[in-house]
Amino acid sequence: MSEPKNVSRRKLLYYGVGGAAVIIGGGAAAYYLMQPPSSTTTTTSTTTTTSYPKPADDPLFFDIWPYRPDLVEANLTEFKTQYAPEAVTQAVIAGDYAAQIETKLIAGAKDLDFAYSGTATANRWYEAGWTRNIEDMEPRKIGDVEVLYSWKDIKADLPVAAWNCLLSGSDGKPCYLPYFQSCFGNIVTNEKLLEAGGYADTKAKTSIYPKDYPELYAQCEDMQKKGVATSPLLKRWGSEVWEMGFVAQIEAQARGDPVFDQNMDPVFDINTPYADMLKDWQHLYEKEICPRGVLNITEGDNITWFETGQYAYSEQHTYDLFTFQDPASSKVAPYCSIVPPLTKNSPIGYLLVNGAIISNPPRSDWKLARVHRLAEFYTYKDKNGNFYRPKDFMVKTGVGSPYPKVLDDPDVIAFVKSKVYRDQDVTSLKQLVEACWMPEYLKVGWESEWTTMQQPLLQQCVQGSITVEACITQMRTDAIALKKKYAK
């Protein structure tokens, strides 16, 4: 047996210091090599020429949430083909998307150029200076990169309501671009259960839809009594932090309670329709007209639950109608319809124009032009003047576009008609989008905190752990304190 080899202390220290030097030196070299080459300008006595790096050496970074990454990939391939040579690195962000993007934005991460956002997050990030407004998105050519469209073109092609969603609450400038549009919180139906409850005839395709929320709840209670369903109504009361606050705002406003005035001061109180709404919610929970387990579920679960066919009505996104009409995954298909806006108090939801933001780290004009080119392709038109990406998403997933020209496209109309329960639903969808509005509080800097505070309070109120009065009093106190805290 060989004797174990001893290493002297001196050697150990030498090795240690040597090893550390190699690691540090290697890291520094790797960092240096990974830096993208910058554009260089050469001036001679007669001409000035600027050379730009290859796009592949300085790719654009696009972080998406995990919705149809395959489709995004295909769209980006088309983008790269149309604008070759171009390079985009796409990353799917799992988990809390907004929190992770926000962390990157705070850090001024260079590996983020373009990302999705909701109205509230877009406003918050813009107000903080982490994202750019799009007012410098104008046709221009830098090197071989050509930006084709102006933000004014986008404005001209959008309805006023959709355009207003994009405007920042802090300075009124467009702070993000439109990725998709939906009415969130409108009511989808299971016509089979409605028929069993005496509210629909699936042969004649006629239905007696509720004109407002109290009527909706009365129908559901009636269907429960008739044994049509154990819990006929699937509310959006889930664990997603934004859901309850959003549906509360939608319903309160449909009941005639604006919740906030124009100065963002709370106007809801224990004597306003907001309180009636909460009392109704407590009743729905107590009688299990809405299943109690809904308080724990995510947005995705909510869709899966409705697909089981056990619920007569549910608050959903307009685009989820197409998911529910897919017989491969949904037991409701082909009997899922949508409640049209019958009166000004109808449950229609609010206008959701989710979008895409452009991050704001230091970057060259050449790179910014490339980001603008990606932005216009992804949120507006392609090189050939077509609404390529918005239409592609619409006809493959049903995810709505805010552009009327896309919605009026024959392919899109054919897709919608092929999916809906009855032809009249095409009109209903259009009416919903036209009737929808977006609550202005989504644009204030304290929206995120307000939403987070509301959710547990509303859930506790629904469960009866706290009274309606206590809930409203606390929510008012929170809103007033937040407004004061964020006052400029």
The verdict on 477 binding other proteins (CB under 8 A) reads no
- Only one of the segments 50-58, 160-168, 289-297, 321-329 lies at the binding site for other proteins (rule: CB under 8 A); that segment is 289-297
- Decide: is 230 part of the binding site for other proteins (CB under 8 A): yes
Write down the residue that tokens 């080459």 correspond to. 37
- Whole-Å CA distances, 426 to 153, 187, 338, 430: 27, 15, 10, 6
Task: Assess 329 for contact with other proteins (CB under 8 A).
Answer: no
Structure tokens at 290: 């809405």
* 23 is a contact residue toward other proteins (CB under 8 A): no
Pairing type for strands 206-207 and 350-358 reads: unpaired
Q: If residue 191 lies in a helix (H) or strand (E), which one and from where to where?
A: helix 191-196
Among 96, 144, 365, 411, binds other proteins (CB under 8 A): 96
Element (H, E) at 200: strand 200-201
- With binding defined as CB under 8 A, does residue 95 bind other proteins? yes
Q: How far is the CB of 247 from other proteins (least distance, A)?
A: 15
Q: Residues 71, 77, 83, CA angle at the centre, nearest 5°? A: 140
| Burial tier of 287 (Cβ tally within 10 Å: 0-12, 13-18, 19+) | middle
Residue 381: closest CA among 369, 367, 392: 392
Among 91, 465, 469, 480, binds other proteins (CB under 8 A): 465
Kindly indicate which of the ranges 193-201, 218-226, 358-366, 453-461 contains the residues binding other proteins, using the contact rule CB under 8 A: 453-461
Residue span binding other proteins (CB under 8 A) among the ranges 61-69, 84-92, 101-109, 368-376: 101-109
Task: For residue 105, give every residue at least 6 positions away whose Cβ sits within 8 Å of its Cβ, in sequence order, or none.
Answer: 112, 125, 128, 130, 131, 359, 360
Out of 291, 340, 341, 400, name the contact with other proteins by CB under 8 A: 291
Token output for 307:
């697909």
Question: Binding to other proteins by residue 452, rule CB under 8 A?
Answer: yes
Please report whether residue 120 would count as binding other proteins according to CB under 8 A. Answer: no
State both tokens at 336: 């899922």
Q: Is 468 in the site for other proteins (CB under 8 A)?
A: no
Q: Which of 104, 124, 381, 391 binds other proteins (CB under 8 A)?
A: 124
The contacts of residue 70 (CB under 8 Å, 6+ apart) are: none
- The reply to whether 473 sits near other proteins by the rule CB under 8 A is no
Helices (H), 35-96: 69-82
Residue pair 467/282 in contact (Cβ under 8 Å)? The answer is no
Part of the chain binding other proteins (CB under 8 A), chosen from 67-75, 92-100, 338-346, 355-363: 92-100
**Closer of 148 and 453 to other proteins (Cβ):** 453
Q: Are 303 and 309 in contact (CB under 8 A)?
A: no
Site for other proteins in 391-450 (CB under 8 A): 445, 448-449
Rounded least distance, CB 281 to other proteins, Å: 13
Is residue 293 near other proteins by the rule CB under 8 A? yes
**Does 39 participate in binding other proteins (rule CB under 8 A)?**
no
H or E element that contains 64: strand 60-64
Min dist CB 225 to other proteins, Å, is 16
Residue 4 phi/psi, 5° resolution?
-60, 145
Summarize as ranges the residues that interact with other proteins (CB under 8 A): 6, 8-10, 13, 16, 20, 95-96, 98-99, 102-103, 106, 124, 127-129, 230, 238-241, 291-293, 295-298, 301, 304-305, 308, 310, 445, 448-449, 452, 455-456, 459-460, 463, 465, 485-486, 488
